[in-house]
Each structure stands twice: as C-alpha cells, then as structure tokens.
Amino acid sequence: MNISIIGTGMTRFGELWKVSLLDLAHEAMDQALENSELLPKDIDALFVGNMLSGILNNQANLGSLLAEHIGTGIPAFYMEGACASGGIALHNAIQSVLSGQNKTVMVVGVEKMTDHSGDDITAGLMGAGSEAERQAGATFPGIYAFMARAYMEQYGVTEEDLAAISVKNHFHGSFNKKAQFRFTITINDVMKSSKIADPLKLLDCSPITDGAAAIIITSKKVSSKKRISITASEVASDTVGLSGRSTFTSLSAVVKAAKKAYHKAKITPKDIQIAEVHDCFSIAEAIAHEDLGFSSPGQATKDIIEGKRTIGTGNLIVNPSGGLKACGHPVGATGIKQIVELTEQLRGDAGPRQVNNAKIGLAHNVGGSGTIAVIHILQNNL
C-alpha cells in the first residue's frame, strides 16, 4: 500500500476532569495538523473512532461535530467497534484512500469516561458483550477472568506469571509523559491489589481513562523524514459471546487478521521489532503474544519474565507506551494511540522509551472479548 502517516497528535491520558470530550479531540487534531505541517483545507475527509459518546456524553453525531473544528465542509464518518473503534476508523480511512476517493485523511480516536459512575461505564462497555452475557450479569473483567482461568489451567501459568505483564507495562509507562500511570510496580504489588474477578486483580486491569489521539494519512508522495508507511491493515471478527467459541485461550479474529496482515506486508512475526498490543487485562496480552506469533502457546509469560519484551533487554519490545494498563484505555482512542506510539518509535522520536533501530511495528486493537480484531503493520522505509 502506498499510504503514509505524516502527522500525529495525542493528549495526555488520565482522569481529566476539567476537559471536555470536544476539548480532547480538538487538542489531538490540532497537534496532528501542526505535526504534519498541513492546513485544515488540506484534509479531504475525517474518520472518528469512538464507542461511548452516544451513551455517556449524549452525543451520537460525533463525526460531523468534530468536522466543524476543521471547518472545511469535508465528509465525516463516525466508526464504532467497541474497544477496537480507533483501529476500525483507521482501517476504513485507509480504504477510502486506496479507493482513490480521498488522498489525505485525518483519523481521530476519542473517549471521555471518567465523569460518569462506574456502574454507567460498566453497563456501557457491556454493550460489546452478548445478550446472554448481559442477562447473566457478566462484566468484561469477569469474562476475561474465565479466559485467564482456562489459560492458567491449560498451560500451568500462575497469577504471579500474569502479574509480570503489568510490571513490564508500568515500567515502560514510567517513561511516557502522557501516560495515566507514570510509576513502576512489583509483582507483589499486583498480588496484593484487590480482587476484581478471580484470578484478575486491580493491577491486572486497565483503568477508566479520558483521552484522544489523531493521525493524518496520505497517498501523496512524501519526502519528509516524518513519513512512515502503512504496509498492512486487516480486520477479522468472531462471535460476540464466549459461549460460541471453541477455545478461551486464543482469539481467532486476531489469528486470522494477523495472518492476512503478515501476508499483505510480506513479512513474518520474526520481522516485528516493536508492537503495541491490546492489554485490557494481563491475560489479554499473554494471549496476544501467542496469537500474533511472538511466543509459542503457553510461553508468553515466560518470555516476558525473561525480559524478552522489555526496553533495554528484549529483542521484540511490546507496549513501549505502557500499553492500556499504564498509559490508559480511553476505549475509542486506544487504537489510534497505538499508531501514534509506533509512528514516534519508527521516526526515532520516542525519547526515553525509544526502541533502538526499530523499523517495523505492529498494532493489535481488539473489541469486546475478541469479537473484532484490527491489525496494522507500519514500516520506516527511509
């Protein structure tokens, strides 16, 4: 694909009480324009990724509303796919460019969550679950706890092993000035934190977060050092509920989308040097490593404990931003944040969390409990 990322923008992630959803989106959009050295008139279309605005913010027409900020009368599209909304927005933006309909497009992911009660947020997020799961009173911590229990029993993995994932991601997040949690933790900290859904504890879970991220992509020729190529964008889906699946220890949507992405980019998992994966819970990252081909089945936590995925010691660095766990998880923005992080890394602009000599990166964005998966592969060809 002849598509380049030429601009990025991202707000700080966290409990941003004094900032509105529109303020967040506008800040990220303005940063992306400034970073790309473009003007609003240069943008042909806008794609917005968001899950909960219609539920929590009483604003469903978000695409048109954010297009007003650019002020050019451009076509605007609102894309929703649970926690994969950002990745889906980018995928559709890419298709619009590949079709020739547009040449230069802005993609924004945004979510404003922390102004609302935990009950409201939990109910909103469970909109991504099946009707049967909702009727049973299930929550996503509970659903992923089922997956964690199945994984632990199948592979002999312990709670302490899973805790190492959160420890790694908090270490990375401590270097990220825009992360929600900029502090390190220990395995003992994870083990002592409150049980949320056995075996998952508070520090196994990503937080409720406000934030926005934006990128600008183009099919035009770009000579700037800021140019990063998108070499694959693939999506696959699965049943909404866990009960319809043959396994709890792998997400078939991820496996299918990743296989297509590797083929499209003409690479293998061994070529990936840096990845942002969807660690909504610690178990989600363990399964992701294996579904993406980074680790053998049942070996992800061992590879993480051995430092193979950590900045400064690893050969494949996973979640240098801090992931969803430490950077935060404003659900509609997460998929675009992943792309912003990879772009900065591949440009060599990631500062103290910079991964040395990274040329190929992968973003893994998942909706629900694996209902939909979006895989993007980025490459620095300069």
Span 336-368, pLDDT tens digits:
999 999 999 999 999 999 999 899 999 999 999
Q: Evaluate if residue 223 carries a pLDDT over 80.
A: no
Contacts of residue 131, Cβ cutoff 8 Å, sequence gap at least 6: none
Selecting among 91, 170, 278, 329, the annotated active-site residue is 329
For residue 303, the model assigns a pLDDT of 98
Of 273, 286, 281, 275, which is closest to residue 324 (Cα–Cα)? 281
363: amino acid identity, one letter: A
Looking at residue 15, the DSSP 8-state letter turns out to be: -
The answer to whether 298 touches 264, Cβ cutoff 8 Å, is no
205 among known catalytic residues:
no
6-17 confidence digits (pLDDT tens)? 999 999 999 999
Q: Which among 105, 89, 160 has a CA at the least distance from the CA of 302?
A: 160
Gap between the Cα atoms of 125 and 127, Å rounded: 5
Share of the chain above pLDDT 70, in %: 99
Rounded distance between C-alpha atoms, residue 159 and residue 167, angstroms: 13
User: Domain 4-117+208-218 is of which CATH architecture?
Assistant: 3-Layer(aba) Sandwich (3.40)
Q: Report strand pairing: 4-10 vs 211-218.
A: antiparallel
Residue 204 scores a pLDDT above 80 = yes
pTM: 0.97
pLDDT in tens, 127-181: 999 999 999 999 999 999 999 999 999 999 999 999 999 999 999 999 999 999 9
Is 329 among the residues known to form the active site? yes
Q: What's the chain's average pLDDT?
A: 96
Catalytic residue, from 26, 83, 205, 376: name it.
Answer: 83
The answer to whether 215 and 341 are in contact (CB under 8 A) is no
Task: For residue 199, say if its preceding peptide bond is cis, omega within 30 degrees of 0.
Answer: yes
What is the predicted pLDDT for the residue at 347?
95
Closest to 271 (Cα-Cα) out of 354, 347, 380, 169: 380
Which has the closest alpha carbon to 323: 149, 227, 204? 204
Looking at residue 135, its amino acid is: Q
Q: Tens digits of per-residue pLDDT, 56-96? A: 999 999 999 999 999 888 999 999 999 999 999 999 999 99
Task: Categorize the per-residue pLDDT at 381 as very low, low, confident or very high, splitting at 50, 70 and 90.
Answer: confident
Q: What is the mean pLDDT of residues 189-215?
A: 98
CA dist 200 and 184 (Å) reads 19
Q: What is the pLDDT of residue 382?
A: 58
pLDDT for 224 beyond 70: no
Helical axes 159-173 vs 140-155, angle rounded to 10°: 120
Residue 237 CA to residue 256 CA, distance in Å, equals 9
